[in-house]
Chains A and B, each alone.
Chain A
Amino acid sequence: MAVCVAVIGKDNSPLYIGGIGNDCSTDNELSRQWLVHTALDALEERLATSSSINANSGNSTAHTDLRDLYGYVTNTRIKLVLVTSSTSPSGSNIRDAEVRTALRRLHALYADAICNPFHLPGDQITSVKFDKQVKSLILNNV
């Protein structure tokens, strides 16, 4: 199941990192940041090696000890990262198709969030609505 979602700007700055779990605990927040941060290298490498820019559906994965990371890159090089725990409670592995839909939905949510005329591109996403929707996505979808 998905545990964390991150939106990363084209300059690799964190725009949004959210996940389920005890949110207020900074420890959790930190570990999430570490997780996504270290996965950025592999993401970048994959992006650099893929010649074409039609990375809209470019799906890349990186694995850490307990988590699988799925990346999704928009045309504007915004990276959407979905972290799933590889040990799913049901025991079955998450199918790629599921991840794909989840990421598409996330992309749509992101597009909605930056449609806000008061949002400056490149700024952190502080929208409460986005946060709420992302959390429901994490909980329900995957």
Chain B
Amino acid sequence: MRSSVSYILSDAPGESVMSHPDYSQQAQHHGCLLILVKGIGGVLKNFNKLWDRVQKVNNIKVTDSQGQIRDIWVRYVQDYPVENNDWGDFQTHRRLLGLITFSKYTNQVELNEVCRVHESLKVKYSNTLYDSRAFIFGPGTNLKRPVQEPETYSVYEDDKLSKEKTSTCDRISLPSEAAESLSSAESFSRSPSSTASYSNQEENFTTPSNFKTHAMFYGENDPMLDMEQQISDLINSLFWVVESKRLERSKEKLEKVSLLLVPFEKKDYVGLDMESRNNKKRCMGRVTKNLADLTLQAGLVADSLSLYHSAAEILKSGNDWLWLAAAKEGHCAASAILLYPNLKNSTPLQRNASLQESSPYKMKSLSLCQPSDPVRKFKMNASPSKSKMSSPVNLPSDLTPSSSESIETSSRQSELENADTESLASCSDMEYQSQKSYLTPDLPSIPRQPSSQLHNQYLLNGEDIVLKYRKAIIHYSKYQNAGIIETEACFKAARIAVEQGNCLQASSFLQNIVFINLTLSEQEKIQRFDTLAELYKDIGFLRKAAFCQRLAATRHVSVNNPNPDWQRCYYFMLHSFPGHKLCLDPDYVIQHQVGWPVLQIEVLHEIVVAARRMGHPALATRHMTYLLQTLWPHLSRLQQREFAIQLQALSAQCEGGPVPLVLETGEVIPPANLTHVPHCLHFNPRPLEATRTPHLINSKPQHGPFIFTPIHFGSLERKSKKEEGKMDHLWVQDDICEVQLKLTNPLPIELKVSNMLLLTTGIVFESIPETIILPPDSPTTVNLHGTPKEEGDLQILGYSTHTLGVKSNCRLKHMPMPNKFPASFTVSVIPSLPIISIETCVTVSGGVNVFGPDSGSTNISLYNGESTDCSIKITNTTFYVLKVLLCNNVVRTERDPTVMVGWAFCIFRISTNSHTTNWSAPISVMPPSRGRQIESQILIRYSGGEGKEVHCRESTLQFNLELLPSVSITHWDVLPAEIAYHQQCGSEVAPDADQCFWQSFGEGHHIISGYDRHCSNVTLKLGVILKTLEESTKAYHECTVVFLTPGEYKIDIQCSTTEPLSDYPSKDLEHSSITQPCVGEVSHVWRFIPPVAISVTD
């Protein structure tokens, strides 16, 4: 876009070069009167409020000498560099025309100071200033209003021509005056300010004699009802000055005009022949352009179009590029004002609209133009003081009508009013329309200007505006000293393009700004980037906006910046998030992984630094957590480690917590939770352990009709209805429950995770904190425990951790992608149930074996025929009354399914709190012929507490009974026969058990050794009564058998006892259903297997 021609006038920038760009300028400002608003003297608390109020009065309507209504717009600024004022000839909207000061004083000294500052401001802008107002707040409400001399402005002294004009014009503009006077009349009764203070004076303050300003005095807390009125008064007076200037300029003879110059040109035209044809053209063109500017400012937009056009024509022929550019720009601006009225008044009107509802006095001023109100008419005529108040006391002498005049006008005014009613009504209509158009922004905007103006032949259409602006900018670019003008033009053009919705044009204008080489202070550079970012945002170029914001942020803290401002840097960084596709909510970012991770990491890392340097460690911690959380998959191992260590260091200053942080600007930084560190692989709520699992008391299968239908109504929904994460098992109130997690530590350093808790919702749940240390890269199983305190559905949402100094709530639904967890696990919690612990105590061989409550089984070893006592101790460990519902046993033997050992308890007992119930049952074993292992289970169902109606618990007690043989035949021998057919067998019997067996076995028992002879199915039994076998002794028996026929024989060796083996204490048991050992002739038999096979030969 920029001109390739090198700078035409490349002087070193002098002092007159405008060096303070105004980035907020818009094309519409070309048609505005510039007023400086300043708070001076002591600090005004409510200056911002006042500033807002002042800004609302940005447009007044004035009826000019021809009876035409002029729309006058005002632009307020809070600061204005004098250098820019010097460019007022070049573009008249750069002239500061009015001054409004707000100040406060408490004593005479301060008042003097305030007056002095005001006057010095007037002097500062004396070249251009036309009028000023001072709003001065004094102590209390009762004030003496210091008497002042009339205000004088040197400008007016020179303007001989305008003198009469303005005064006549003043008179003609009566309707607005009338309106003003009306509002002051109305406010009279309520406002004790300026006027009321005449009568009641307590203190006498006097303004210095050199203070010649129209000043308004208020009490500190006065509502200042007439402030708007005073300001529109000021605007009115400014307008008439501008209007007079315009008329003066328009009546000048083009041949005689002097050359208007921009500040940097002054040197170049020294000694030039001003009479040359070219220079003549320049003079004419420049003056025409100047007139066009004034016309635009005076509200005659349509007229200015043709003037700009002709100015451009003249300047083009005179090769005056700089001024040509200005004429073109003016042309564009005027066209834009007509085409895009919303561009100008959007914000102030919005405020106006909102104010309408809230403040009554604003309503009044807006409804001024409704003359049909009879009451008001009456008031107007009746109020004698009206004229006094209506005419500004201190208007410049040449603008102020004399008091007699004003009375006259006021009387005339009522006559005039009817005549003006129509025009005023139409003006109010128009205003209403424009408001309405703003209030309903969806509708196409209704142009404020009469439609006739839109058919002006010089009116540029949207495309032409952009095109012309482009040309103007190219012309500007030829002048190095016009860099700021060019920059501002770019911004203005971009804003128009934004309004047009032409994003590419706008971006090309904005792009151009970057190329303009300006020597700017860091602050201005930052502002430039900020404004660029704003405009880029407007056209939806968020990435570009973010880039500019980042540049602005880095400028804030660059080494060149003498006062680095980390806070601003931080906010710029923060606001660049959308452009980097980052959202403050980390979960959103994780779900919608968009954007460029490398850049995101960079930005986040920078913002962490900014937050830390800003002195907000909590924010730094938060952003670092955010970085780790959202961009974890994109970080390299090294970065992960590095950032984790950095986070640890940051959180040492301020611990991170899962609470939103609220910034000073009201922005909320949502919490960031670390779910990657540690990483959860597995999450499972565990059922209660077997002994504590609740069972239904009546667990009968449901007996209902089973209906099958092939028709599925909404089968899909029904399937999906199956709740994800609903656990089948139950948890019990007040009982410790367990959730199993498998965690890995993805960092190459050891990770300490403390205070791990379960996050639940639904019912009250008391979680028990857990602290673990995770070694790098190895999955660790962690059990988290807790106690539900109520019955109902418990939802487990996740878990909370405290690691690297950051507290995180890791919710399952936000868990990183690879493992798919349901959003929550739901476990039903039933009312509390009691718990018992069972202890068994077995007496074996004189010693006592105690099996604690933890060992689920009791192991007993018994010899055949032996018996022992086993006592079971049941302890109720809870505070509920416990009821044992059922207690029975099941016995299983290893091989023989027949019940050899039996006991049965059908005990219904109630034990109370923590009481212990003891009962003992003797165990006696009648040895089975072959059994070696017997398993016996005692099942106890019990219930109690609140849940006793529905659920119960089951405890099983397992007995493992090992049976050992008590006697064994250790040795046998077949002796060689002395005689044929005689065979001698010898066998040795030895108890292979230990002492205790024999002791309990008692003495006096006999071992019978028998020989069974299987001989052709004939059993020959030879019995010999031996002796009593002592412990660990051996008995030897010999017998002789004669085989009569040869053949195969088998010899069965047995020994038996005829006496009962034990004194089984059956009498102790009342409910004894035990199969009694068969006490017969032979009570026990020991057999040697296998049988001895003998073959007998002839």
Contacts and interface: CB of A to CB of B under 8 A. Distances in A.
A84 to B, nearest CB: 16
A37 B515 contact: no
Given A34-B547, A37-B543, A65-B514, A42 B596 contact: no
Contacts of A42: 504, 507, 541, 544
Contact of B598 (A29, A38, A41): A29
A13 interface: yes
Interface in A25-72: 29-30, 33-34, 37-38, 40-42, 45-46, 49, 63-65
Interface string A1-17: 00000000001111000
Contacts of A14: 596, 598
A79 B4 CA distance: 32
A29 B602 CA distance: 12
A11 B547 contact: no
A64 B541 CA distance: 14
B598 A46 contact: no
A38 B544 CA distance: 5
B598 A30 contact: yes
Interface residues of A, number: 19
A41 B578 CA distance: 13
Interface in B515-571: 515, 536, 539-544, 546-547
Contact of B602 (A13, A30, A46): A30
B594 A12 contact: yes
Nearest to B547: A38
Contacts of B511: 63-64
Contacts of B539: 45
B599 interface: yes
A102 to B, nearest CB: 23
B596 A45 contact: no
The CB with the most chain B CB atoms within 10 A, among A11, A12, A34, A46, is that of A34
B503 interface: yes
A64 B514 CA distance: 9
Query: Range of interface residues on chain B?
Result: 20 to 34
B544 to A, nearest CB: 5
A45 B598 contact: no
B607 to A, nearest CB: 16
Contact of B507 (A13, A29, A45): A45
Contacts of B507: 41-42, 45
A41 B543 contact: yes
B596 A33 contact: yes
B504 A49 contact: yes
Contacts of A29: 598
A87 B360 CA distance: 64
B543 A13 contact: no
Nearest to B512: A63
Nearest to B550: A34
A66 B346 CA distance: 37
A33 B504 contact: no
Nearest to A48: B503
Nearest to A14: B596
B592 to A, nearest CB: 10
B543 A46 contact: no
A41 B541 contact: yes
A35 to B, nearest CB: 9
Interface in A73-105: none
A20 to B, nearest CB: 19
Given A12-B594, A13-B594, A13-B596, A45 B503 contact: yes
A37 B504 contact: no
Contacts of B503: 45
A69 to B, nearest CB: 11
Nearest to A40: B543
Contacts of A40: 543
Output the residue of A11, A40, A42, A46 with the most chain B CB within 10 A.
Answer: A42
Contact of A33 (B514, B515, B599): B599
A18 to B, nearest CB: 13
Most buried by B among A37, A42, A63: A37
Contact of B599 (A11, A34, A41, A63): A34
A49 B539 CA distance: 13
Interface in B584-609: 594-596, 598-599, 602
Contacts of A11: 594
Contacts of A46: 504
A34 B503 CA distance: 21
A47 to B, nearest CB: 11
A34 B598 CA distance: 9
B136 to A, nearest CB: 51
A37 B599 contact: yes
A118 B594 CA distance: 23
Contacts of A33: 596, 598-599
B507 to A, nearest CB: 6
B596 A38 contact: no
B886 to A, nearest CB: 62
Q: Which of A38, A46, A63, A65 has the most CB of B within 10 A?
A: A38
Interface in B186-217: none
A11 B596 CA distance: 11
A65 B515 contact: yes
Contacts of A12: 594
Contacts of B547: 34, 37-38
A14 B581 CA distance: 13
A45 B507 CA distance: 10
Nearest to B593: A13
B504 A41 contact: no
A132 to B, nearest CB: 22
Interface in B798-833: none
A140 B337 CA distance: 53
Given A30-B602, A42-B507, A37 B596 contact: yes
A138 B602 CA distance: 27
Contact of B542 (A41, A49, A64, A65): A41
A70 B136 CA distance: 61
A38 B511 CA distance: 12
A38 B504 contact: no
Contacts of B544: 38, 41-42
Contacts of A64: 511, 514
Nearest to B541: A41
B515, B542, B596: which has the most chain A beta carbons within 10 Å? B596
Interface string B1068-1086: 0000000000000000000
Nearest to A60: B504
A61 B544 CA distance: 15
Contacts of A37: 543, 547, 596, 599
A46 B507 CA distance: 12
A30 B507 CA distance: 23
Contacts of A30: 598-599, 602
B591 to A, nearest CB: 14
Contacts of B595: 13
Contacts of A13: 594-596
A89 B503 CA distance: 33
A49 B544 CA distance: 18
A76 B543 CA distance: 23
A29 B596 CA distance: 13
A49 B507 CA distance: 14
Interface string B725-760: 000000000000000000000000000000000000
B594 A45 contact: no
B858 to A, nearest CB: 61
A38 B549 CA distance: 12
Contacts of B515: 65
18 contacts: A11-B594, A12-B594, A13-B594, A13-B596, A14-B596, A14-B598, A30-B602, A33-B596, A37-B547, A37-B596, A40-B543, A41-B540, A42-B504, A45-B504, A45-B507, A46-B504, A64-B511, A64-B514
Given A40-B543, A64-B514, A65-B514, 7 more contacts: A13-B596, A29-B598, A30-B598, A30-B599, A34-B547, A37-B599, A65-B515
CB-based closest 10 A-B pairs: A41-B541, A38-B547, A41-B543, A45-B503, A41-B544, A33-B598, A38-B544, A38-B543, A14-B596, A37-B596
